[in-house]
Amino acid sequence: MRYLTDRKRAMGKGSAHSGTEHHWYMTVSAVGLAFMVPTWIYIFGSALGGPQEEVLATFARPFPAILTALVIFIGMRHFAKGATMMIEDYAKGSARRALVILTISLSYAITATGLFALARIAL
Partner 1 sequence: MAEAKRVTRPLSPHLQIYRPQLTSITSILSRLTGNGLIVGTMLAVWWLLAAATSPEYFAVANAVATSWFGDLVFTGSLWAVWYHYLAGLRHLYFDAGKGLDIPTAEKLGWACIIGSVVLTILTIILVQ
Q: How far is the CB of 30 from partner 1 (least distance, A)?
A: 5
By CB atoms closer than 10 A (0-12, 13-18, 19+), residue 73 is middle
Contacts of partner 1 in 18-47 (CB under 8 A): 27, 30-31, 33-34, 37-38, 41-42, 44-46
Residue 86's contacts (CB-CB under 8 Å, 6 or more residues apart) are none
Distance between the two ends of the chain, CA-based, in angstroms?
A: 52
Closest to 98 in 3D by CA, of 40, 20, 106, 14: 106
Number of residues that bind partner 1 (CB under 8 A): 39
Residues that bind partner 1 (CB under 8 A): 6, 27, 30-31, 33-34, 37-38, 41-42, 44-46, 48-49, 52, 55-56, 59, 68, 72, 75-76, 79, 82-83, 86, 89-90, 92, 106, 110, 113-114, 116-118, 120-121
